Amino acid sequence: MNTHYRVTRSSTATHISMLLAVLLIVVLVTVPWWAGRAEMRLLGEIFLYLALASLWNLLAGYAGLVSVGQQAYVGFGGYMLFALTMFGGLHPLAAIAMAGVLGAIIAVPVAALMFRLRGAYFAIGTWVMAEVFRLSFAQVSALGGGSGSSLPVAIVKSLSASRSSRESLSYWLALAAVVIVILTVVFTLRSRKGLALTAIRDNELAAGSLGINIWRTKFLVYVAASSLTAVLGALIFLQKLRISPDAAFAVNDWTAFVIFIVVIGGIGTVEGPIIGTLVFFALRETMADLGTIYLILLGVVAIAIMLVAPKGLWGLIRSRFDLQLFPLGYRVESTSSNKGE
C-alpha cells in the first residue's frame, strides 16, 4: 500500500461553513421584507462593526500595525459624505464611493509620517493624528463646526422617496459592505501579499531576510484598510443622517469597541472578529441599561478572556477542535492506494 500526501487549503469544515455562509447571506438579504425596523437597524449596525473589526484585525493581527486612531478614517468618510453631497452635488451612493478614494489619498501622507514611528509610538501617533482630524473638521463652519450638521432632506430623499425604502437600502449597503470586506480580507490572505503578511506577522526579521519588502507591504495594507474604513464611515453616517466632530471621531465607538471585539474573538484570525462582534452585541443589548457599569463589565470580560484564552475565544475553539471555517491555512492530507503492489 502506497501512501500519498497532498497539501490542501480546504476541509470538510470549510466546505460546510462556506455553504452555510451563502445560505445565511441569502436569508439576510430578505430581512427587510419580514423583519421590523429596530431589528433591521441593529443588524445593519452589527454588519458595520464586523467590517470595522475585520479591517482593524487585518492591520494589527497580520501587518502588526496596532492603530488606535482608525476613528480618523471613520470620521473622514462621514464628513466626505456630507461635503460631497451638500457642496459637490454628488448622489449619496457616488459620495460613499468617492469617500473611499479620498480616504486612500489622505492615508498616503499619513502612512508616510506614521511609519517613521515604531511600536507604542506608532499607536500614540495614530491617536494624535485622529485628534488632528477631529480638531480640523471642528473648524469647518460650512459643515457645522463643533456642533455638527444634518444631511439636508432633499439629499436624504434622493436615495428614495419613502422612509422604509431608504432604511432597506441602508441595510443592504451595510450587508454588502461586510461581505465585501470579509471577502477582501480572505482573498488578500490567500494571495502572495497575504503570505507575505503572514510571514511578517510570524517573524518580521526573517520575512525581511527572505526578500519581502516589509515597508511596502504594510503601506499597501494600511492604505487599503483606511480606504475601506472611510467607506464604512460614510455608511455609518448615512444611517445616522447627522454628524459632529465628537461623534465622527469618537475613540470609544470606532476604535476601543473594535479592539475589544478583535481581542476577545481572536486577533490574527478571520473568524475572531465574527465571534467577537456577536459577543459584544450580546453584552451590549443585555447590559446597556447599566450605564457606566456596562463599560466596567466590558473591561472585566476582556481581561478575563485574555487571561483564560490569550488567543481569544476562536483560538480556544480551534485548539480544542482543530477547526477552521475559512480556507486559509495549509493542511497536509494523506491518501492510501494499492497501486504498484
pLDDT tens for the chain, 341 residues: list them: 667 777 677 778 888 889 999 999 999 999 999 988 899 999 999 999 999 999 999 999 888 889 899 999 999 999 999 999 999 989 999 999 999 999 999 999 999 999 998 888 999 999 999 999 999 999 999 888 888 899 988 888 888 878 888 899 999 999 999 999 999 999 988 888 888 888 887 777 788 787 888 889 899 999 999 999 999 999 999 999 999 999 999 998 899 999 999 999 998 889 999 999 999 999 988 887 777 788 888 888 888 888 888 888 988 888 888 777 887 776 666 666 665 44
Q: By C-alpha distance, which of 124, 149, 114, 103 is closest to 248? A: 149
Q: What single-letter amino acid sits at 293? A: I
Query: Strand 149-150 vs strand 242-243: parallel, antiparallel, or unpaired?
Result: antiparallel
Within 10 Å of residue 228's Cβ, how many Cβ atoms?
A: 25
Residue-range domains of the chain with CATH: 4-334 (1.10.3470)
Task: Provide CB contacts within 8 A for 237, sequence distance 6+.
Answer: 77, 78, 81, 82, 243, 248
